[in-house]
Structure 1
Amino acid sequence: MRDILPDLRSRCADGVPLALATVVAVHGSAPRDPGAVMAVDAAGTVVGSVSGGCVEGDLYEVAREVLAGAGPRVVSYGISDDEAFGVGLTCGGTIEVLVRAYVSAAELADLAALLDLIADDRPVAEATVLSGAAETGVRLVIRPSDAGPATGTLGSEGLDAAVTDDARGLLAQGHTTTQWYGAHGQRRMQEVAVFIRTYAPPPRMLVFGAIDHAAATARIGSFLGYRVTVCDARPAFATRERFPTADEVVRAWPHTYLESTEVDARTVICVLTHDPKFDVPLLLAALRTPAAYIGVMGSRRTHHDRLARLREAGAEEAALARLASPVGLDLGARTPEET
């Protein structure tokens, strides 16, 4: 969805009806994961992709039918030997796609509200009924518990409550999946299939030390989908010109910035300062966070000396074991990008 977000928001703002085709299940090999979206608007314009070109032609016709009032539906595309180059997946897998239209002003406003949350990097999940005892295509939009109640309904208070609870757990993990429930939200029943698509903010990459290796790390981090921040206390080095791909360039003492910014269990920290007066206070602060990864640049000898300084500063062995150093992979690298 994020890859076509500007196009979708523009159409909602202009009141242009559209149909969204969303991959809700993948079996075997397929080009796109659950959550991939293709949109077809009232003028017949297509944005996005669900299979890299294998089934889009047929799916376009389905979307046009749904826009014309045929109602939401789930369509499946697979392959057999005699249809390898017809409508199907030449990679051999099967995908299931939900096609749903947004036509009325109320429907477009509901979709726009979801898109605004995604654009603002605010965590949100969308639950949609696929089949079973509830109406196909009905939606529930769920925010974290501290952000307010869910909006919409799946047709039953019990089902809404069960899906909201599960969606918040999936949102915290960043997982998208299909769950089964009873008609009133009962667990371990398979009467209603609900696709829960989570939109967690991009994970953060915090890069400390405005050196050439930091520029290469920022480029790779951005390419991989991280929200990248480069931090250095030296104004001459911490500049937007040196780090054009970073989302943020911060001029501050590294440990001071780290203590003031949000770090969660998906955040990765790359310490490239390579200077004890920066490294030690920064790493002590980093070890107090729930960061998923803390990598530190330096040779094995440098890291041995660094560990001694950290022990003197009170760091415990269990905490020190979290540090990955030398940072990067041992590939015999010579350039910052290789490292």
Structure 2
Amino acid sequence: MVYHFICKNVINEFQQIIRAYRKTDFSQRKAALATVVGLSGSGYRRPGARMYITDDGQWMGAISGGCLEGDALRKAREVMQTRQARLVTYDTSDPEGENFGIGLGCNGVLDVLIQAIDPNDPENPLETLDRVMQDRRPLTFETALPDGAGIFVEELKPDIQLLVFGGGYDAVPLVKLAKQIGWRVVITDDCVAHLQPRRFGEADEMLAVQRDEIRQQIPVDSYSAAVLISHNFKYDRAVLQELLQTDIRYIGLLGPKKRGDALLDEVADFVKPEDEKRLFWPVGLDVGADNPQEIALSILAEIQAVFRKTSAQPLKFKNAPIHQPVSSISLLEKNQ
């Protein structure tokens, strides 16, 4: 069987796992990685979810809502000792069942691959994941399952990169919340005095860039979103003009609609009809946001919806499963 799943921008979940892996003292500890590789029915976590485990009982990440981690920890310790990968199936479909001491009722069957981690192997799965995150390029990642059970194929994509233009007070919660989600964050301003480490210490980069250097200095890629939050009309106009000449997928303009209209009028020569799909003004979803923290929430929720191509409507109105079905194809089907 080939388990095939497209991981859409979930690479951000792996940052804490990578950090935990880097901090592990392998002269004292052993470690393993549990990965959800198959799902039939519904489940709290999707294929590609990971859990990093050390032999002292510590773990980072999750393969369920908390109900399977204890059993996975026990099995991971066995794998650490034998150095033999193991494929474990968890049936959570019986709400009255006594699996693992609790009736889970998730109505799904999960297949979880548990692998010992060799820190001396440059091709171990965590080293591979780290390279994807650093290179910011999509990667098809294939993992052979034990005993010829099949291959788990993931199409991993980089996390969202948030470009924040403007280092004012209301940019602070935007940067903090984006980092809590796991995104890569770059904050820039044309005034270096606005870029204070004590305010934006969570940011991956702080760049003081002049207006005519934006395209040359700012690391725009196809997984980037920009928010113009400087409160300086001339600066926002210069930034907007430069961004419209890139392939960035999302441009959000803070402030009332009239201000956004005026900005767009001044850069009309650079606006194409198709740009309407990537321009958002006023920026953010209508969630009644008032203070900077709430505004940051509304902005990031809108960006997430755009990148995941969802409606951003309440799930109660969705007449379909929350997630797209997981596709599994046989080896025979793959080779035909």
TM > 0.5 = yes
Q: Distance in 2 between matches of 1:119 and 1:308?
A: 38
Give 5+ residue unaligned stretches, structure 2.
1-13, 296-336
**Aligned residue number for residue 301 of structure 1:** 258
Partner of 1:209: 166
Q: What residue in structure 2 maps to residue 25 of structure 1? A: 38
Q: TM-score, normalised by structure 1?
A: 0.69
Equivalents in 1 of 2:229, 2:262: separation in Å?
Answer: 16
Corresponding position of 1:292: 249
Post-superposition offset of 1:102: 4.2
1:1-339 maps to which residues of 2 (within 5 A)? 1-11=14-24, 14=27, 16-41=29-54, 43-48=55-60, 49-69=62-82, 71-79=84-92, 80-84=94-98, 86=101, 89-102=104-117, 108-111=121-124, 113-114=127-128, 117=131, 120=134, 123=137, 125-130=140-145, 136=148, 193-197=150-154, 199-311=156-268, 313-319=269-275, 322-339=278-295
- Deviation at residue 234 of structure 1 after TM alignment: 1.8
Contact 1:216 1:336 in 2 (8 A): yes
**Structure 1 residue 10, shift from structure 2 partner:** 4.3
Instruction: Spell out, residue by residue over 1:110-157, the C-alpha distance to the aligned partner (whole angstroms, 9 max, x if none).
Output: 3274365357455455311237xxx54xxxxxxxxxxxxxxxxxxxxx
Compute the RMSD of aligned alpha carbons: 3.1
Alpha-carbon spacing, 1:71–1:235, altered in 2? closer, same or farther (3 Å): closer
For 2:272 and 2:117, the matched residues in 1 are separated by 56
Partners of 1:332 and 1:281 lie apart in 2 by 30
Does the residue aligned with 2:46 lie in a helix, a strand or coil? coil
Shift of 1:89: 3.5
Query: How many Å apart are 1:281 and its aligned residue?
Result: 2.4
Distance 2:210 2:133 in 1: 30
2: distance between equivalents of 1:9 and 1:92?
36
Q: Deviations over 1:260-281 (max 9, x none)?
A: 3322222101012343322222
Identity %: 30
Partner SS state of residue 75, structure 1: strand
What SS does structure 2 have at the residue aligned with 1:96?
Answer: strand
Is there any run of 5+ residues in structure 1 with no aligned partner, and where?
137-191
How far off its partner does 1:236 sit?
2.6
Preserved CA contact (<8 Å) 2:165 2:228: yes
Q: Which has the larger radius of gyration?
A: 1
- How many Å separate the matches in 1 of 2:265 and 2:134? 43
Structure 1 pair 71–248 and aligned structure 2 pair: CA distance change class (3 A)? closer
Task: Work out the number of aligned pairs and report it.
Answer: 277
Distance 1:305 1:215, change over 3 A: same
Q: In structure 2, what is the Cα distance between the partners aligned to 1:10 and 1:210?
A: 32
Amino acid of the structure 2 residue aligned with 1:247? D
Q: Which moved more, 1:266-275 or 1:314-323?
A: 314-323
